[in-house]
């Protein structure tokens, strides 16, 4: 019995994903096709990458609400470079990634300089990025991307979508960075106990800024993948990404308090969100009903995170002896 309990605690996310897949496979015949499963992976590839970026900030005890319009701003910049200016798609990708670094620095710098919670700072920058994207693009939607650029999100290599290959590469990079570098260990340390990290000699301000920069670099990659897959660039390309990313992270075990969680959990959490979205569409659930389900999932994930924290605290409590 104890062994079964430990198994469930360790692999509960995979079990949830499996149950969701089984449920929709029973409810909808088109859902359980190989084509649809590949479609789910491709559609959510950008979301996996963006969620990983958000998780880096959350692990250090922060948050980034500007993700949706970082994606929009990078997307329209890529469109301007490759379509309006007619320059190389490679240059468009490079500019998009460089812009991601700049946006991450802006978020990190003002969060540290103002010494306020990142949710406040990134709520402000979210609005700034949205406005800037509309002004720069004149609220246009960009079409007619070169075939070589769209290949990033639409082509297959050896039967595997390029978008999925890129996503796997980003997952591996994030895993190595968090588990096998000082930078990753510092992020966990700052999120776990900022004062202890400071006393240990960690440059908290620098690491927090770097965390935002790396996170935004991941978000920029996700923007390029999504733009290439959809074949369009526009400000509101991923307007609901912030909700999906935070839900995936919390569902995947990343605490709002920081200091915990892992990349594999984020990936599985994102897949659960993706499978749910696809499955609900397949069975004809209305958009508004889907909103209710997704909101309930986020509340449930936060409640479960709080329960786990209280349970861990109780286990650590040692009764005092007289």
- Sequence spans of domains, the chain: 34-300
* 10-69 pLDDT, tens digit each: 778 899 999 999 999 999 999 999 999 999 999 999 999 999 999 999 999 999 999 999
Kindly report the pTM of this predicted structure.
Answer: 0.93
Pairing type for strands 160-161 and 156-157 reads antiparallel
Read off the tokens for 58.
Answer: 């959350």
Phi-psi bin for 260: left (phi > 0), alpha (psi -120 to 50), beta? Answer: beta
* 108-165 pLDDT, tens digit each: 999 998 888 899 999 999 999 999 999 999 999 999 999 999 999 999 999 999 999 9
DSSP 8-state class, residue 84: I
Under CATH, which architecture does the 34-300 domain have? Orthogonal Bundle (1.10)
Q: How far is CA 207 from CA 97, 105, 106, 210, 237, in A?
A: 20, 11, 14, 5, 30
* 75-99 pLDDT, tens digit each: 999 999 999 999 999 999 999 999 9
């Amino acid at each position: 019995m104890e062994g079964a309990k430990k198994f469930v605690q360790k692999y509960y996310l995979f079990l949830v994903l499996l149950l969701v897949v089984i449920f929709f496979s029973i409810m909808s015949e088109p859902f359980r096709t190989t084509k649809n499963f590949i479609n789910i992976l491709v559609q959510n590839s950008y979301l996996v990458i963006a969620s990983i970026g958000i998780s880096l900030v959350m692990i250090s005890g922060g948050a980034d609400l500007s993700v949706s319009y970082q994606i929009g701003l990078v997307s329209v910049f890529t469109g301007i470079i490759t379509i309006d200016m007619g320059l190389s798609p490679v240059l468009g990708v490079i500019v998009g990634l460089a812009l991601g670094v700049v946006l991450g620095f802006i978020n990190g710098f003002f969060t540290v300089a103002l010494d306020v919670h990142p949710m406040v700072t990134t709520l402000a920058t979210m609005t700034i990025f949205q406005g800037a994207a509309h002004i720069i693009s004149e609220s246009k939607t960009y079409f007619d991307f070169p075939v070589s650029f769209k290949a990033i999100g639409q082509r297959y290599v050896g039967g595997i979508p390029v978008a999925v290959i890129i996503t796997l590469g980003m997952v591996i990079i994030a895993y190595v960075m968090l588990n096998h570098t000082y930078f990753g260990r510092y992020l966990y340390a700052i999120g776990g106990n900022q004062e202890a990290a400071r006393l240990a000699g960690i440059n908290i301000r620098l690491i927090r800024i770097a965390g935002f920069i790396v996170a935004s670099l991941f978000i920029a990659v996700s923007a390029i993948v999504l733009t290439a897959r959809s074949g369009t660039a526009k400000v509101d390309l991923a307007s609901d990404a912030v909700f999906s990313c935070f839900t995936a992270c919390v569902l995947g075990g990343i605490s709002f308090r920081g200091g915990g969680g892992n990349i594999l959990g984020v990936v599985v959490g994102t897949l659960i969100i993706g499978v749910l979205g696809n499955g609900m569409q397949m069975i004809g659930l209305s958009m508004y009903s889907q909103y209710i389900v997704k909101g309930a999932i986020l509340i449930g994930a936060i409640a479960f995170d709080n329960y786990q924290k209280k349970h861990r605290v109780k286990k650590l409590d040692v009764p005092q002896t007289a």
